[in-house]
Amino acid sequence: MAQVQDNQASSWLLQAKAFLDDARRLRPGPARDELREVARVLREIARLETQSGFAADLDGPESAESGRSRGLLGSTPGRMRDLG
Phi and psi at residue 65, to the nearest 5°: -65, -40
**Does the pTM exceed 0.75?**
no
In a domain, 83, yes or no: no
Measured distance CA(66)–CA(46) in Å, rounded: 19
Measured distance CA(24)–CA(21) in Å, rounded: 5
In a domain, 81, yes or no: no
Note down the domain range covering 7. Answer: 2-65
In a domain, 47, yes or no: yes
DSSP 8-state code for residue 72: T
Measured distance CA(72)–CA(70) in Å, rounded: 6
**CA 19 to mean position of chain CA atoms:** 12
In a domain, 76, yes or no: no
Measured distance CA(56)–CA(45) in Å, rounded: 16
In a domain, 24, yes or no: yes
Counting the structural domains of the chain, the total is: 1
Residue 41 has pLDDT above 50, yes or no: yes
What value does the mean pLDDT take over residues 51-70?
59
Q: What is the pLDDT of residue 57?
A: 62
Higher pLDDT, 43 or 74: 43
